[in-house]
Amino acid sequence: MTEYVSTTPGLFPLPDWAKDDLSDLKGHQKHDLISGEEGGEIATAYQDAREEVLEGQQEAGLDRIVEGQLRWDDMLAHPLAVHDAVETEGIVRYYDNNNFYRDPVVSGDLDFSGDVADELEAASELVDGDDLQAVLPGPYSLADLATDDHYGDDAEFLGAVADFLAGEVDAFPDHETLFLLEPSLVESAPEDGQDERASEAIDQVASATDADVVVQPYWGALEEKVYAHLLDADIDAVGFDFVANQDDNIYNIQEYGATDDVSLGLADGQSTLVEDAEAIRERVQWVEDQLQVTDFETVYLTTNTETFYLPYAKYEEKLAVLAEAADLAEVKAL
């Protein structure tokens, strides 16, 4: 029987009070963004905000609880932006939207940092280990978002980023699920040769945890070869953005098969229009009907993208809808 699990890919919006407080405490310029060395009132504000989003997910009834990644001023580039061997330089557009991040320029060896592990450790003190979900950028996306000024070779750089992420995962507290976010697999698809290396890099990070690993591409569907290579990685689930592209995602599954577990991005992480829970459940049914299978072991129900784009109140409503939709799908499957 399929288990339906409500979750999110993390990177939440800050609560309104925290946005105001941190704006006053940190300032408004590029050099005021998180460096990884913040303390005092800034650290306290983030801790209070973390507790609020953890409590909010628990109250909404989500099956997997994420730390929220509220400190990630540079979005998915964060783990490198706070690394000692990285200099942050000019502002770069974050994919094809109106958000920007500091260009992380890697100028030395990417050794262990522990920044994300510290965040997850703080969350683990407030969340049951069976519910905790870790979130990281996938190695291909993190390498794609960064500038290499040290390794000098694309393959070597990707391998170094994968080594770095695997080391971070190894330091994580117990967690049930790891989401690796890989929008660059869609937005900047790897070419021949790169696609196989991207899969190997994902496999390398996934091997660092005993948790279930979900690779979540978004903003469209993967090219066929990229998808086929991704299935070679030792992962538990591939994610599909059914908000941005239904036909090509269905085609990939029909043509190449799927992992035993899947993650369905069914709620729009960038739209303030809040979906109805019954409509989300019907979308799950639509996907299963298209595939003429109902035997996935686990189906994760999630937004298709991060939710930091949303006003805080809308983000809260999306969480409640996902939790209710998973419950509805579970009842229908009985």
The pTM (predicted TM-score) of the whole model is 0.96
Least confident of 26-35, 180-189, 273-282: 26-35
Sign, CA dihedral 199-204-209-210, equals positive
Centre a 10 Å sphere on the Cβ of residue 16 and count the other Cβ atoms it contains: 11
Query: 139-161, pLDDT tens digit by residue?
Result: 999 999 999 999 999 999 999 99
**pLDDT of 248 above 90:** yes
For 284, what's the count of Cα atoms within 13 Å in the CB-facing half-sphere?
35
What pLDDT, on the 0 to 100 scale, is given for residue 232? 95
pLDDT of residue 221: 98
Give me the number of domains the chain comprises: 1
Query: For the domain that residue 42 is a member of, what is the CATH number?
Result: 3.20.20.210
176-205 pLDDT per residue, tens: 999 999 999 999 999 998 999 999 999 999
DSSP assignment of 100-168, as one string? EEEEEEE-S------HHHHHHHHHHTTS-TTTEEEEEE-HHHHHHHSEESSS-SHHHHHHHHHHHHHHH
Instruction: State the residue range of the domain holding 54.
Output: 3-333
pLDDT at 32 over 80: no
Q: pLDDT at position 295, please?
A: 81
Residue 294: the pLDDT is: 59
| Residue-level pLDDT at 30 | 65
